[in-house]
């Protein structure tokens, strides 16, 4: 994305609402660097690039509880290069013994486990968007819109620890219809987490989509620079 590491531009997160449009922009670290290799997709977030990646900031809400603020939301990082976009999740979890991870088949009902979800609408047109779900075993679901018939070449891995679990996801830009570098593009996106350890679903989301994570009109905009 950058020809010279000394000329990194800011990345802006533009919070969008249906009625107000763009309502904010804050400076962020760069989401790519030619001097750093992409992450190895193994669930281990110690790759040097994650230290320089864009961190998705802002409050998260639990849509299953009517939009109440999430006290300990996931940490989400974004990185990309000329061929792929990479997402990392660090999910804090004090109840690891209750973690639900039963689905083992790709494109199974992964959302019924403790899992993370990523939504991309690269054009921002709301007509076509892509969904990726990964559970705590690293099992992947990918779909276009609400259809799971679409398959990508995405790669995902998860790892667990005593106090949480992590996910790394790599998605080829070509699978998203993006040609060349996404530098300067603004995508509509959302990041979500399904948490089941209490015995009741907590639908945590960065953008308040209401009851359905598929409410693409409520996605936020991410400008990559």
What's the CATH code, domain 5-223? 2.60.40.1190
Q: 89: left (phi > 0), else alpha (psi -120 to 50), else beta? A: beta
Mean pLDDT of the chain: 88
Question: What is the rounded CA–CA span in Å between residue 220 and residue 186?
Answer: 10
Number of Cβ within 10 Å of residue 122's Cβ equals: 19
The angle formed by the CA atoms of residues 117, 136 and 171, to the nearest 5 degrees, is 45
Question: What pLDDT was estimated at residue 1?
Answer: 42
How far apart CA 142 and CA 162 sit, in angstroms, is 28
Per-residue pLDDT of the chain (225 residues; tens, 9 = 90+): 443 333 333 333 333 333 323 233 344 566 777 679 999 999 999 999 999 999 999 999 999 999 999 999 999 999 999 999 999 999 999 999 999 999 999 999 999 999 999 999 999 998 899 999 999 999 999 999 999 999 999 999 999 999 999 999 999 999 999 998 898 899 999 999 999 999 999 999 999 999 899 999 999 999 887
pLDDT of residue 15: 36
pLDDT at 184: 86
- What token pair was written down for 209? 């989509």
Bin 138: left if φ > 0, else alpha if -120 < ψ < 50, else beta: left
Q: What is the pLDDT of residue 114?
A: 98
Nearest to 85 by CA among 44, 39, 147, 128: 39
Indicate the domain borders of the chain: 5-223
What letter would DSSP give residue 151? -
The whole-number pLDDT of residue 4 equals: 38
Interacting residues of 219 by C-beta distance below 8 A, sequence separation 6+:
16, 119, 121, 129, 188, 189, 190, 207, 209
pLDDT score for 35: 75
Residue 125, both tokens: 């047109």
Q: Count the residues in the chain.
A: 225
SS (H, E, C) 192-225: EEEECCCCCCEEEECCCCCCCCCCHHHCEEEECC
């Amino acid at each position: 994305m950058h020809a010279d590491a000394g000329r990194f531009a800011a990345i802006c997160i533009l919070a969008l609402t249906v009625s107000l449009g763009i309502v904010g922009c804050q400076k962020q670290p760069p989401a790519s660097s030619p001097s750093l290799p992409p992450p190895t997709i193994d669930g281990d977030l110690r790759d040097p690039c994650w230290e320089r990646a864009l961190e998705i900031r802002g409050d998260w809400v639990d849509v299953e509880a009517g939009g109440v603020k999430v006290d300990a939301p996931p940490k989400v990082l974004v990185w990309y290069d000329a061929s792929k976009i990479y997402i990392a999740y660090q999910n804090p979890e004090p109840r690891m013994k209750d973690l639900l991870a039963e689905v083992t088949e790709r494109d199974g009902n992964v959302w019924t486990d403790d899992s993370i979800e990523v939504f991309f609408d690269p054009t921002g047109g709301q007509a076509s968007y892509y969904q990726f779900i990964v559970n705590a075993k690293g099992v992947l679901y990918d779909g276009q819109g609400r259809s799971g018939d679409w398959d990508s070449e995405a790669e995902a891995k998860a790892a667990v620890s005593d106090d949480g679990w992590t996910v790394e996801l790599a998605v080829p830009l070509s699978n998203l219809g993006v040609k060349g570098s996404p530098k300067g593009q603004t995508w509509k996106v959302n990041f979500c987490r399904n948490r089941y350890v209490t015995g009741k679903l907590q639908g945590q989301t960065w953008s308040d989509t209401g009851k359905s994570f598929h409410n693409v009109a409520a996605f936020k905009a991410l400008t990559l620079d």
